[in-house]
Chains A and B, each alone.
Chain A
């Protein structure tokens, strides 16, 4: 998946690449969940969001309007989850559309 890396944010990947990190936050596979963007109202699998990653964590942005729907930041105090840009997260049983 991701070859070697410098620790610097680069071109975005797909949200599914954040599955490992998200597993530290959610008890379910968050990349299969459906997120509704708080900016434009579009609905998409978390795995299809645009992922901007760095050694500090991950920012998932709506592929339609670029709103940051989910941010996970790793700090010395613990993991920080910010979902201000998401209207809802639907955890369904369907792994595929």
Chain B
């Protein structure tokens, strides 16, 4: 999206999209910003919900040149900038990758050397959002370490993890609590609820763990 007058955002912030129908009916939804502040265009990640009111439009019908209202950037809590330093420990489930992608893109664009790890849970190989870009980021010198787990179906020859993110996985692949990483968890409620106690049990400080659940809520705004 090209948003004239957009004040720069910080990675992790979101924006509201408001659509107005010809009869004046309005629907508003909140989306995490997936692009880095350094990128020329603003990007969001929309997961299509087939019986949804807004996502089928955004994911299928929007054409280049269409216009709609956005409000933002919003939120200052679930935010990481290179100036905050690392290590950066990111945990994502499904489309929860979006705000964490903004952080990883920003980390690369800003030339940050902060150690970074992404543990990313997807249902299947095809469901991995930003797979190729994550590979590219990981392959760069000083790139983040990226650990995938595929919980529903795995392609032939898959050697990675096959279960939901749990305490053992975080202990084996994660950044040790002694390094005091800044932790951002974004995904469905179930992932956040399982992950947070595991992180605390591994010794991570609650003040360093920030979570963002998404799921069906009312039209908040």
The residues in A between 1 and 43 inclusive whose CB is less than 8 angstroms from any CB of B are 1-21, 23, 29, 31-32
Spell out A's residues near B (CB within 8 Å). 1-21, 23, 29, 31-32, 45-48, 51, 53-58, 95-97
A44 to B215, CA, bound (A): 22
The 8 Å CB contact of B77, one of A2, A3, A47, A53, is: A47
A45 to B218, CA, bound (A): 22
The 8 Å CB contact of B212, one of A4, A5, A14, A96, is: A14
Closest residue of chain A to B47, judged by CB?
A3
- Residues in B whose Cβ lies below 8 Å from that of A17: 30, 212-214, 217, 220
The 8 Å CB contact of A20, one of B54, B76, B99, B221, is: B221
16 examples of A-B residue contacts, CB within 8 angstroms = A1-B30, A3-B214, A5-B216, A5-B217, A5-B218, A13-B189, A13-B214, A14-B78, A18-B220, A19-B74, A19-B77, A31-B75, A56-B218, A97-B205, A97-B207, A97-B208
Among A2, A31, A47, chain B packs the most CB atoms within 10 A around the CB of A2
CB distance from A14 to the nearest CB of B (A): 5
A-contact bits for B63-95, CB 8 A (1 contact / 0 none): 000000001101111110000100000000001
CB distance from B62 to the nearest CB of A (A): 15
